[in-house]
Amino acid sequence: MGLIYLDGKFVDESQAKISVFDHGLLYGDGVFEGLRSYNGKIFKLDEHILRLYKSAKAIYLEIPMKFEELKKTVIETVRKNNLKDSYIRVVVTRGVGDLGLDPRKCKKPTIFIIASKIQLYPESFYEKGIDVITVATRRNFNESINPAIKSLNYLNNILAKIEANNAGATEGLILNQFGYISECTGENVFIVKENNLITPPISSGVLEGITRKVVINIGENIGLKVKEEDITRYDIYTCDECFLTGTAAEIVPVVVVDKRIIGDGKPGKITLKIREEFRLLTEIEGTPVYE
């Protein structure tokens, strides 16, 4: 059984329980992060923890733990579970309040960290590529819950995922209110056109993905012209290559979009090159858990 960090203690999975009055549950009032460890090293730990603090700041939530202490606790959670390759979830909620939504009643944020075995995507996704469809659910406005905030309010993304599931597609491509592509339900989107590597800007309503950032750097290092600019469905249908990025997904080639075949219908050369470079980084970088 796994050991969960919950509000200052490590408890058995069966004892890791949250109040029904926790506003994370009642209202989705909280923030989270999803990280990975590769061979006993946590990839981009600082970047993920920093994004957690930024998400918290944006929703007026003060995390009752210092940056370094939280980092140490994440490392300890992986260590206590004896994991080498893991998926790590860090959650901070507004805490226990009453049934009203006023957060002033919530005196102490709830913090928990789960480190578990990683559920990898099927190998066929990487070998053959995946098909995606544009969904009807739109990205919420930046002036509402800004999609850059990794909040516990993921219903928008979940609705998009259900639409994709219902259509028999692997992922759903979400447009923003202006009709531009934003991202998928839990991954950022990239296209390759000739020597250009293009991804929608943060302002288009996307999460500032950690993998996205790594891929932008890889793109620059291998001589591609990287652009963060608005893209339309036409741009995707007519691109040479398309792929998605995310902590869980890493780099997944997309070969069909709304029944249009992308490129030659196989994972693209540049996509595969970027994936290889990305995998190399996960092997050589990272914060060690066991030393």
Instruction: Report the nearest approach of ligand PXG to the CB of residue 36 (Å).
Output: 9
Pick the closest to residue 112 from 202, 252, 9, 189 (CA basis).
9
Catalytic-labelled residue, pool 41, 44, 150, 161? 150
- Dihedral sign, CA of 213, 217, 218, 219? positive
Closest CA to 181 of 158, 163, 160, 206: 206
How many whole angstroms separate alpha carbon 250 and alpha carbon 182? 18
Q: Is 150 a residue of the active site? A: yes
Shorter beta-carbon distance to ligand PXG: residue 48 or 94 = 48
Determine the Cα–Cα distance for residues 70 and 73; give it in Å rounded to an integer. Answer: 5
Q: φ, ψ for residue 64 (rounded to 5)?
A: -80, 45
- Count CB atoms within 10 A of the CB of residue 269: 12
Both tokens assigned to 149: 């905030």
Nearer to ligand PXG, 30 or 209 (CB): 209
Instruction: Give residues with Cβ within 8 angstroms of 256, minimum separation 6.
Output: 129, 130, 131, 132, 262, 265
Q: Which is nearer to ligand PXG, 96 or 163 (CB)?
A: 163
Whichever of 26 and 251 has its CB closer to ligand PXG, that residue is 251
DSSP result, 226-264: EEE----HHHHHT-SEEEEEETTTEEEEEEEETTEEPTT
3-state secondary structure of 29: coil
Please list the active-site residues.
150
